Structure formats: C-alpha cells, structure tokens
Amino acid sequence: MPPYEYSPLPGISCVICSHNGSNRLPSTLAHLAAQDVPSWLRMEVLIVDNASTDGTTEVALDKWPHHSDGTLRVVPEPRLGLTFARTCGLLHARYGLVSFIDDDNWIAPNWCKTAWEVMGSHPHVGACGGLVEPVFESTQPWWFNEFALYFATGQQASAPGPINSLASILWGAGLTVRRSAWGQLHQYGFVPMVADRQGTTLTSGGDDELCHALRLAGWQLYYDPRLQMRHFLPGSRLNWGYLRRLRRGSGVASVSLDPYLSAFRERIGIVVPRYKETWQWQVAVVVRSLINNWRETSRAIRRFAEGDGQVLFQEFRFGRLLGLLRKRHLYPKSFDLVRRALWLGTQARA
C-alpha cells in the first residue's frame, strides 16, 4: 500500500515519470510552480524517479520552490520502463485526478484548473488531453509538419469533445486520468502488456493501451484544446534517423494492441474470421506487404529518402514483424486476456 492516506478533497496530482531527466526537470518544474490554482483546488507534484543515475531526485527536490502552492514528493521506481513508472505514479497519487506531465513538457498556467473543470463537467470521461505545441532546440526539420503527430505535437482531434473512432487514443504527454477509472480497470483484471519506453529504446504504445482499456471499460476519452502545453524537442530527436526508429518502435508495440482493436470491432458488430487474428496470419500479412512494396522496403533498408512517408510506413511494418516474432507464443493468449477483462467489465456495468 502507498505510504500515505488517499485524500478525497478536490485536487490533482501532476505525475512526472523521469529517467535521467535532471537536465530537463528545472524548466518543467518552473512551469508547474507557476500554476494559477484556485484556493479550493489542491495540487501536488509527484516525481517518479525511474531508475535514474544522474541525480534526478536531488535536482527535483532542489529546484522546487518552497513558496509554491503545490507540494512535491519523489518516489523511486527501480524497474526501468515508462509503463512501470506510470503505474507507480497512479498508485502513489494522493488525489482523484492524475495528470501525466513528461519531464520535457511545459504546461500553461491554467492547466490544473482546466483539467479539473473538464473532468468535473464530464463524469463519464476517464481521461482527457489537449493541444501540444512543439518547441525546437535547433532548426526545425523541413519535413516536421507532415509528421508532427508522431512527435505527440499538434491537435489530437478536429474539435473539442469525446473521441469515438475505432482506434482513437490520447497521447501520454499531458494525459489526465481519473484515478477511479484506472482502479476499475484493475478490478476487471487489466494488466498492461506494452512495456513502453525503457531507457533509450523507442518502443511506445503504453498510452494507447491505457486509452483502449479505459474505453473498453465504458469510459470516454475527451479532447479540449484549452489544455495547452509545449513539448521541448532537443536536437537529438530532430533527425530522420530518430523518426525512423520511432516508427519502428510503434510497429513493435502495435502487436500488443491487436487484442484491444479486435474487442472494439466485436463491440460494434464487425465480424472478423478468427483465423485472421492468428499469429501465422498476421505474420503472413506483414511479409506479403513488405514484398509487394519492395521499392519502399529496399529504400528503407538502404536508409535514405529523407521525408518519404512510405519509408516510415515500411519501418512500422519492420517493427510489427519484429514484435510478432517476439510474441509468437503470447499472441493468442493476449486476446483471451483482453476478452476476459472486457467480459468482467461488462458484468460490472450491468
């Protein structure tokens, strides 16, 4: 059990999951300390030190201004990985709303107040997100605007309101989660299958999985552009090679998300033959696609054609094939796990 008493008072826990983020944290903490929080709303900043070796904890405690209206705590999570860190933050959060702020995110002064208003006005919303503006350390790449969504920047929907399309998700950066909704997921038997970022690896998808699970449990996702933040992008990320690795990592994670998309299709009455959900079929589909698009595949292998979206798509396919090979024995079991959790959730809501 967490070493504190959960507070039923109106409040929001801003959770920063950080692995070796000592050089990024000062700016992020400065924006959190500048929050315009009304007197009736409590705010805490919870740093999850995810196996850091660069003094992240010490920097966080040193840089947090003691005159701030919010409090700051640090909890360690020795298991390396963003999924582990997020789970740790949800377990240790003191308040009913948990807002995940990355250590390179700079939130607007009204962030906490707006998040509280959005979630308070929409009791069926399990998570909400907002508008993310990129901030560049170096020159913006000429191709950035075309692929900005891959960097979790820009608009997450065309208009404010619920997000309802089949594969809709919200980005983990700036994701505000209703803690009771997350607790309900675990009552249904939800166990994350996506490891997400682990150190310098670029496997992602933990935020996708959480959003899919919330929706399957009956909760809505909501987009509100009044929730504004800036995402600082260092020069090391602003290159074509990084983006290609990022897309390949997304392909790896997509394999673990298949059972959720299958469950959504079942819910809305789309019938898919069971053989098309087998590991063998999925491998055949990816391999056939790579062969049929050999020109793009060869360009991806030779690593050129900067700015070519087809090359990024092939990188995603390479990653998906790698993910399938890694999950050969676990792939069918993952569908059973999600269907069982979905059935329990349906029974609880009945």
Taking residues 109-117, report their average pLDDT.
Answer: 96
Distance CA 125, CA 165 (A): 15
Is pLDDT of 5 > 70?
A: no
Contact 324, 331 (CB under 8 A): yes
> What is the band of 26 on the pLDDT scale with cuts at 50, 70, 90?
very high
Same domain, 53 and 178: yes
> What is the band of 302 on the pLDDT scale with cuts at 50, 70, 90?
low
Output the average pLDDT for the chain: 88
Distance CA 162, CA 215 (A): 11
Is pLDDT of 206 > 60?
A: yes
Taking residues 146-157, report their average pLDDT.
Answer: 94
> What is the band of 202 on the pLDDT scale with cuts at 50, 70, 90?
low
Residue 244 inside a domain? The answer is no
pLDDT at position 338 is: 85
> What tokens were used for 260?
């959720």
Is pLDDT of 191 > 70?
A: yes
- Among 177, 204, 238, the domain-final residue is 238
Domain limits at 314?
249-349
Residue 210 inside a domain? The answer is yes
Same domain, 102 and 135: yes
Residue 5 inside a domain? The answer is no
Taking residues 334-343, report their average pLDDT.
Answer: 77
Which candidate, 171, 192, 126, 197, places its Cα nearest to that of 338?
Answer: 192
Same domain, 80 and 178: yes
- Among 194, 219, 238, the domain-final residue is 238
Same domain, 187 and 104: yes
Residue 4 inside a domain? The answer is no
Span 241-258, pLDDT tens digits:
999 999 999 999 999 999
Residue 32 inside a domain? The answer is yes
Same domain, 65 and 115: yes
pLDDT at position 343 is: 56
> What is the band of 349 on the pLDDT scale with cuts at 50, 70, 90?
very low
Which candidate, 70, 58, 90, 280, places its Cα nearest to that of 177?
Answer: 90
Is pLDDT of 208 > 50?
A: yes
pLDDT at position 300 is: 64
pLDDT at position 279 is: 93
Same domain, 220 and 270: no
Distance CA 325, CA 317 (A): 12
Residue 258 inside a domain? The answer is yes
Dihedral of CA 267/270/275/276: which sign?
Answer: negative
Same domain, 253 and 234: no
Distance CA 241, CA 148 (A): 15
Domains identified in the chain, total number: 2
> What is the band of 348 on the pLDDT scale with cuts at 50, 70, 90?
very low
pLDDT at position 220 is: 94
pLDDT at position 237 is: 92
What is the pTM for the complete model shown? 0.90
Span 82-112, pLDDT tens digits:
999 999 999 999 999 999 999 999 999 999 9
Give whole-number Cα distances, 276 to 67, 284, 285, 334, in Å: 59, 10, 9, 15
Q: What is the DSSP letter of 172?
A: S
Give whole-number Cα distances, 105 to 26, 233, 313, in Å: 11, 9, 27
Taking residues 3-15, report their average pLDDT.
Answer: 80
Same domain, 335 and 233: no
Same domain, 225 and 151: yes
Same domain, 228 and 257: no
Distance CA 178, CA 125 (A): 8
Q: Which residues are registered as beta bridge partners of 132?
A: 154, 229
> What is the band of 274 on the pLDDT scale with cuts at 50, 70, 90?
confident
Residues 6+ apart with CB under 8 A from 34: 109
Residue 24 sits in a domain whose CATH number is 3.90.550.10
Percent of the chain with pLDDT over 90: 63
In this structure, of 70-84, 223-237, 302-316, the range with the lowest mean pLDDT score is 302-316
Is pLDDT of 117 > 90?
A: yes
Contact 327, 256 (CB under 8 A): yes
> What is the band of 303 on the pLDDT scale with cuts at 50, 70, 90?
low
Residue 217 inside a domain? The answer is yes
Same domain, 257 and 222: no
Same domain, 198 and 161: yes
- Among 238, 266, 298, the domain-final residue is 238
Residue 97 inside a domain? The answer is yes
